[in-house]
Amino acid sequence: MSLSQGRNLFVTPGPSVIPDRVLNAMHRAAPNIYEGDLVDMTDRILDNLRKVARTSGDPTIYISNGHGVWEAALHNVLQAGDKVLCLSTGTFGSGWADVATAMGIEVELLDFGSSKSFNADRVADALRADQGKFKAILATHTDTSTSITNDIAALRKAIDDTGHHALLMVDCIASLGCEQFEMDAWGVDVMVAACQKGLMVPPGIAFTFHNTKAAQVSENTIRTSPYWNWTLRTNPDVFYMRFNGTPPTHHIFGLDEALKMLVDEEGLDNVWARHTKQAQAIWAAIDIWAEAGAIRCNIQNIADRSSAVTTVVSDTIDLSPLHEWCKDTAGLTLGVGIGFGEYEPNQIFRIGHMGHMNPVMLLGALSTIEAGLNALQIPHGRGAIEAAGRVLAS
Ligand SMILES: *Cc1c(COP(=O)(O)O)cnc(C)c1O
């Protein structure tokens, strides 16, 4: 028997839960795309995007998903035959490297495995050995497959220590609007993000951000795609050029509302603190379940754990029945496993705790998972939910 009437909860790490306010903002008739609300709103959105990314650089909005802006960012500053260093801590890190390779860019991949963040010494060694050929360094802030978060400020320092002049390009698709990120203070030249994770908007628009150093590089780059070219989009003569065609009207209304919630109302520091606290509650529960040896957090070191998504692995158990029990009996959809290292997808589940979440949803998800562990007789330590509650109350 399924008990699952009422509103289901999806804790997939993107698309994340969409606030009713965002949905309601999108629920309206087609607007004028030449003047009025939409045009004014877009300027406000660009300002708020700068605030979320902590940059005075230029945001560009594409009708695209994350894969699209991976390509857009590369296309603007690199050409076939150029060489880049790509740092990988999971499937998304190597995914961006694959896109670069497919575009004819020569990629040197530094793979840090799937359980620890970047090692800055290894990056520095690779840069010293390179003799200035790398034009860019591609890094992932939070890799959503493994739930590893990388220290981008430490990476910048390692780059500066070697005196290397490569552009630093960072994928913040999972982390923007969830985890602290300081584009300017951390010396990031290009950043990519999408709307459907921390920014709480249905998938469909994605972003690049670039500073003046990246803008200079792009001026000297032969760009063959008019669609990905960010120059006209950042300095449009007429509004439609910002989107190289019809704007994504309803996504703009939704994004404006979401950014108001994050920037104007809650405040970015509070948004980050909320994610940290909620993540700590989730880890407290999982670390107790882990005492029985069947499941555990993929990342041992707390500093390497993302506060937007948590990957849980099992060395011994097929977790597909747990996915099914949670979904079919209880109405909770867990994030699917993306295989890495020695783990097959059915040895993994992920909890997305990004965006529009509160303790009701988090404790509901954790209690439901625990009920599933009980139903399926998967060994787990006792007192996990209480521990999560204690963290939230502290
Ligand atoms: C989700 C995600 C992507 C891919 O985004 P899509 O919108 O699915 O194309 C890339 N990188 C990271 C870190 C992600 O979390």
Tokens found for residue 111: 């793979």
**Ligand 1 mean position, distance from CA 378 (Å):** 31
Residue in the block written with tokens 């521990």: 387
Q: Give the largest CA-CA distance in the chain.
A: 65
Q: What are phi and psi of 203, to 5 degrees?
A: -55, 145
Amino acid residing at 274: R
Omega of the bond leading into 359 within 30 degrees of 0 (cis): no
Tokens found for residue 261: 């919630």
What is the rounded distance in angstroms from the CA atom of residue 154 to the CA atom of residue 161?
10
Three-class DSSP category at 377: coil
What is the rounded distance in angstroms from the CA atom of residue 109 to the CA atom of residue 123?
11
Domain spans of the chain? 9-16+268-393, 21-264
Three-class DSSP category at 368: helix
Q: What are phi and psi of 380, to 5 degrees?
A: -160, 150
Three-class DSSP category at 124: helix
Amino acid residing at 113: G
**Ligand 1 mean position, distance from CA 202 (Å):** 13
Residue to probe by mutation, ligand 1, list 173, 200, 307, most atoms within 8 Å of CB: 173
pLDDT at residue 134 in the model: 98
Amino acid residing at 203: P
pLDDT at residue 222 in the model: 96
pLDDT at residue 46 in the model: 97
What is the rounded distance in angstroms from the CA atom of residue 100 to the CA atom of residue 366?
38
CATH topology of domain 9-16+268-393: Aspartate Aminotransferase, domain 1 (3.90.1150)
**Ligand 1 mean position, distance from CA 79 (Å):** 23
Residue spans of beta strands (DSSP E) within 307-382: 309-313, 332-334, 348-352
Q: In a 10 Å sphere around its CB, with 0-12 CB exposed, 13-18 middle and 19+ buried, how is residue 381 labelled? A: middle
What is the rounded distance in angstroms from the CA atom of residue 141 to the CA atom of residue 93?
9
What is the rounded distance in angstroms from the CA atom of residue 248 to the CA atom of residue 239?
12
Which residues sit with their C-beta closer than 6 Å to ligand 1?
Answer: 14, 65-67, 92, 140, 143-144, 171, 173-174, 194, 203
Number of residues in the chain: 394
Residue spans of beta strands (DSSP E) within the chain: 9-11, 58-63, 83-88, 106-111, 134-140, 142-143, 148-149, 167-171, 190-194, 205-210, 296-297, 309-313, 332-334, 348-352
User: pLDDT for 37-94, tens place per residue?
Assistant: 999 999 999 999 999 999 999 999 999 999 999 999 999 999 999 999 999 999 999 9
pLDDT at residue 131 in the model: 83
pLDDT at residue 132 in the model: 83
- For atom 4 of ligand 1, the residue with the nearest CA is 66
What is the rounded distance in angstroms from the CA atom of residue 5 to the CA atom of residue 187?
49
What is the rounded distance in angstroms from the CA atom of residue 142 to the CA atom of residue 151?
9
**Ligand 1 mean position, distance from CA 66 (Å):** 5
Give me the residues of the chain with pLDDT under 50, please: none
Mark 237-256 as b/e (b = at least 16 C-beta within 10 Å): eeeeebbbeebbbbbbbbbb
Return the CATH number of 21-264, one of 3.40.50.720, 1.10.1740.10, 3.40.640.10, 3.40.50.1820.
Answer: 3.40.640.10
Residue to probe by mutation, ligand 1, list 144, 170, 191, 192, most atoms within 8 Å of CB: 144
